[in-house]
Homo-oligomer: A and B are copies of this chain.
Amino acid sequence: MTAANEAASAADRELVLTRMIDAPREKLFRAWTEPDLLVQWFAPLPWTTSAVEVDLRPGGRSLFVMRDPDGKDYPNMGVYLEVVKNEKLVFTDAYTEGWQPSEKPFFTGIITFEDVGGKTRYTARARHWTVENRDMHEKMGFHEGWGQCADQLAALVAKI
């Protein structure tokens, strides 16, 4: 496989959302890592986040329980892979806690916060192991859902 083909293959399996947000990246990192802040923006309204667990280290457990408008809970369990304070968060559902392979690895999230003169370039990437899962994630409403959450996130960091 050539380098160009590898790049194309990687792009085929990735979804990306980028925003400039008028807040310092320290606040965005807090909003992504402190449970009492996460529950305020993480699910696209009228969905809510009913529970959050954050063990912020490689292999540490990540749990987000999203609740639909009828009150049904959908747990999303995974682990953190890399944590660079105020700069980067990487997590995946390919493992449950303790490096136990999960039943159905779906994606890896890479969140980066870049300082641009006091504002922040916020980039959320979802990388999948297959093109099929990437396409499924897009049809599930990745751009609308993550876009709405980015709006909620921007509104929250404006007031903390």
- On A, residues with C-beta under 8 Å from B are 10, 13, 58-59, 81-82, 90, 94-95, 99-102, 105, 108, 110, 127-129
Contacts and interface: CB of A to CB of B under 8 A. Distances in A.
Nearest to A94: B94
Given A59-B81, A59-B90, A94-B94, A127 B101 contact: yes
Among A13, A58, A102, A127: residue with most chain B CB under 10 A:
A58
A140 B68 CA distance: 46
A127 B10 CA distance: 25
Nearest to A79: B81
A96 to B, nearest CB: 9
A105 B90 contact: no
